[in-house]
Amino acid sequence: MIGLVSSILAAVVLGNPAFLLVIPVYLIRIKSRNGALVAFYAYAIILTTTLPSASVYEAAGLKAAVVAGISVFLSLDETLRGIRFDRDTMIVSGILVAAALNDYTFMTALAAAAFYTAHQNFGRVSAYLAGWAGGSALLLYLARERLADPAAQALVVIGLGLIFLLFAERRDVEFLEAGLREEE
């Protein structure tokens, strides 16, 4: 429910109706998880073509990056896990709606909702999410003269995300060796 509300509010805050295409994803999720994942990837592709290519060093670019990134993260989490309608999700959704009156409070509430959801679902691994967000912000700040291109900024955020993902999943990875031609 939090991901659905955040995506609908992202459509309003950013003035981009493509965020409303998440609604069919949620409707498909009621019947089929795999079908919802296919619909979600189509939604993500459509969304990337409609977002402006602006620098995160400008207010409009930062707002678009934060709102789009977090709302997509929350929607993907609910697409994978299923939609919950409990008391906590209703409270967080209500806070998001109330915070949408101002862009800065909405971005802050959206970030808090993402960390809350990550902590509820992943526990201590949410510290890696906090490390990734802080590391990305710090690196983007320190390299602001060298990263004028939005594509370079996106690569920094994605690259740091992969590094923190590797740290988070390092115990779950099994190193198996398989030959090209396996014999029975």
Q: How much is the pTM?
A: 0.75
In this prediction, residue 170 has a pLDDT band, given cuts at 50, 70 and 90, of low
What pLDDT does residue 184 have? 47
Please state, as a whole number, how many other Cβ atoms lie within 10 Å of the Cβ of residue 108: 13
157 or 97, greater pLDDT? 97
Phi, psi (degrees; rounded to nearest 5) at 183? -100, 145
Q: C-alpha angle with apex 7: 6 to 12, nearest 5 degrees?
A: 95
What pLDDT does residue 117 have? 85
Distance CA 154, CA 172 (A): 27
Please state, as a whole number, how many other Cβ atoms lie within 10 Å of the Cβ of residue 91: 12
Residues 38-91: pLDDT tens digits? 998 898 888 888 887 777 778 888 888 888 888 888 888 888 888 888 888 889
Instruction: Enumerate the H helices of 51-183 as residue ranges.
Output: 59-81, 87-99, 103-122, 126-142, 150-169
- The number of C-alpha atoms within 13 Å of 42 and in the hemisphere containing its C-beta is 13
What pLDDT does residue 174 have? 53
In this structure, what DSSP letter does residue 54 have?
-
Residues 85-137: pLDDT tens digits? 888 888 988 888 898 888 889 889 988 888 888 888 777 767 777 877 888 88
In this prediction, residue 2 has a pLDDT band, given cuts at 50, 70 and 90, of confident
184 or 15, greater pLDDT? 15
Q: Which residues contact 164 (CB under 8 A, 6 or more apart)?
A: 128, 129, 131, 132, 135
What's the full length of the chain, in residues?
Answer: 184
